[in-house]
């Protein structure tokens, strides 16, 4: 998978920019607050139609403009395609090869990316919500149907929570309506949980192998699914659906008193253990950083396994955050097999002697100059 060209119009601090990105390694160099991260973010948005930095789409549009447009030319093993995404106050319009896609889920997956940024350490040590977002974004670009199920689940969850807020003291009518929402919540919830279970099992397999290599066999990493009920080892969907419905009936009065949905995928979590100790609680900063690195490298291999080719790798000011050994491990992983985009404030933080045929772009106040 290869991003050959990127064009932005009214995106963040870029009125207009066109970049030929036809090298395996593309490095954006410049001082802070000049727009380097915006370039990597735009590639991420072109792949997933969402930013990893904000939930507010209006922040992606240049100040005093009414829309932003992102255009990319992507080369894959079955041919070259063009991706065109317009973001405005009215929503998003996405085109593949000039044809508008009725659903964004039909657009997502045309370009696969893995983003690695300093804040990804929060996946390991941050809140469960950060880990759920990580799961949703990564599963969604490999299995677009997951995004549909997730969207439906979230809509049902809003309606169910609204009903719960009105249900104390409980009435017969509200209780009957809650039973209807329960069936729908469980139906979509089970699909999400099964897909998360499958994804995490594959991620664990790759992450364990990679982490053992990074630590020279001294540490064993385990990634576990921690659902809001049960132990994460599910049977088939029908059995899980029964368990979901039984659990909902058991906590019905508690939910009505509190006015909120207490179980479901919206309360799932991920656990990381090194040598059987919880990394979030007991791990050193170095172990947490290595866990995050192992996760990202595992993502690369998992996507390659699922879609048949490597994703594009986005490294936002990461190399300077890693010690020399971890930086070498990362470079050796992506060298010659994964197209990589790197941001840095100075080339001294990048081991250029380890990189072959890198294109260097200097970024300054919304302009990009190719100096390679």
Planar angle of CA 292, 279, 221, nearest 5 degrees: 65
DSSP per-residue letters across 37-66: HHHHHHHHHHHHSS-SS-S-GGGGBPTT-S
Side-chain half-sphere CA neighbours of 41 within 13 A: 18
pLDDT of residue 349: 65
Give the mean pLDDT of 351-363. Answer: 77
Percent of the chain whose predicted confidence (pLDDT) is above 90: 67
CATH of region 1-112+309-371: 3.40.50.300
Nearest CA among 103, 12, 94 for reference residue 47: 94
In this prediction, residue 230 has a pLDDT band, given cuts at 50, 70 and 90, of confident
Nearest CA among 186, 192, 296 for reference residue 246: 186
The reply to whether 120-308 shares the fold of 1-112+309-371 is: no
Strand order from edge to edge, sheet including 312-316: 113-116, 312-316, 340-344, 25-29, 358-364, 367-370
CA 294 from chain centre, in angstroms, equals 15
Residue 33 marked in a binding site:
yes
Residue 32 marked in a binding site:
yes
Residue 194 marked in a binding site:
no
Residue 93 marked in a binding site:
no
CA 350 from chain centre, in angstroms, equals 25
Q: Enumerate the domain spans of the chain.
A: 1-112+309-371, 120-308
151-155, Cβ contacts within 8 angstroms, sequence gap of 24 or more: 152/188, 153/185, 153/188, 153/189, 153/192, 153/264, 153/265, 153/266, 154/266
Neighbours of 89 (CB within 10 A): 9
The structure tokens 């727009």 sit at: 35
- The string of pLDDT tens digits covering residues 57-86 is 999 999 989 999 999 999 999 899 999 999
Contacts of 54 (CB under 8 A, 6+ apart): 60
Residue 186 marked in a binding site:
no
CA–CA gap between residue 88 and residue 327 (Å, rounded)? 39
Q: Which tops the pLDDT comparison, 350 or 238?
A: 238
- The string of pLDDT tens digits covering residues 331-344 is 777 777 899 999 98
Nearest CA among 161, 177, 148 for reference residue 255: 161
Strand partners, 271: 224
Show the tokens assigned to 117. Answer: 């940024």
* Predicted TM-score of the model (pTM): 0.89
Q: Domain 120-308: what homologous superfamily?
A: RecF/RecN/SMC, N-terminal domain (1.20.1050.90)
CB 306 within 8 A of CB 142: yes
Q: What is the CA radius of gyration of the chain?
A: 22
Residue 118 marked in a binding site:
no
Q: What is the mean pLDDT of the chain?
A: 90
Q: What is the DSSP letter of 250?
A: H
The pair phi, psi for residue 131, each rounded to 5°, is -70, -35
Q: Is it the case that residue 354 has pLDDT exceeding 80? A: no
CA–CA gap between residue 74 and residue 192 (Å, rounded)? 29
CA–CA gap between residue 360 and residue 369 (Å, rounded)? 9
Show the tokens assigned to 131. Answer: 């880990």
Q: Is it the case that residue 12 has pLDDT exceeding 70? A: yes
Show the tokens assigned to 253. Answer: 């009065």
């Amino acid at each position: 998978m290869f991003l050959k060209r990127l064009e932005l119009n009214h995106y963040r601090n870029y009125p207009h920019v066109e970049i030929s990105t036809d090298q395996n390694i593309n490095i954006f160099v410049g001082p802070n607050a000049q727009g380097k991260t915006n370039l990597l973010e735009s590639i991420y948005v072109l792949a997933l139609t969402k930013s990893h930095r904000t939930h507010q789409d209006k922040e992606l549009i240049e100040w005093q403009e009414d829309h932003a447009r992102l255009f990319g030319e992507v080369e894959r093993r079955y041919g070259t395609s063009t991706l065109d995404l317009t973001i405005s106050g009215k929503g998003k319009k996405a085109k593949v090869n000039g044809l508008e896609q009725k659903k964004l889920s039909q657009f997502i997956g045309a370009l696969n990316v893995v983003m690695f940024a300093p804040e990804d350490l929060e996946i390991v040590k941050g809140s469960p919500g950060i880990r759920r977002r990580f799961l949703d974004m990564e599963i969604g670009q490999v299995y677009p149907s997951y995004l549909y199920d997730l969207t439906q689940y979230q809509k049902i969850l809003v309606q169910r929570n609204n009903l719960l807020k009105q249900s104390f003291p409980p009435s017969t009518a509200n209780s009957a309506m809650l039973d209807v929402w329960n069936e729908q919540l469980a139906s979509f919830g089970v699909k999400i949980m099964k897909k998360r279970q499958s994804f995490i099992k594959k991620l664990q397999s790759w992450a364990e192998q990679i982490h053992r290599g990074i630590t020279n066999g001294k540490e064993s990493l385990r990634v576990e699914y921690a659902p809001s009920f049960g132990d994460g080892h599910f049977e088939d969907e029908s059995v899980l659906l029964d368990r979901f419905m039984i659990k909902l009936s058991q906590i019905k009065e508690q939910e009505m008193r509190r006015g909120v949905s207490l179980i479901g995928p919206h309360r799932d979590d991920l656990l990381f253990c090194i040598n059987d100790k919880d990394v979030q609680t007991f791990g050193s900063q170095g172990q947490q950083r290595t866990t995050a690195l192992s996760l990202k490298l595992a993502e690369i291999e998992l996507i390659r396994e699922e879609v048949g080719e490597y994703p594009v790798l986005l490294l936002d000011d990461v190399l300077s955050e890693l010690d020399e050994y971890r930086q070498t491990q990362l470079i050796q992983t992506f060298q010659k097999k994964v197209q990589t985009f790197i941001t840095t404030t100075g080339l001294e933080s990048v081991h250029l002697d380890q990189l072959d045929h890198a294109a260097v772009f200097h970024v300054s106040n919304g302009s990009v100059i190719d100096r390679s």
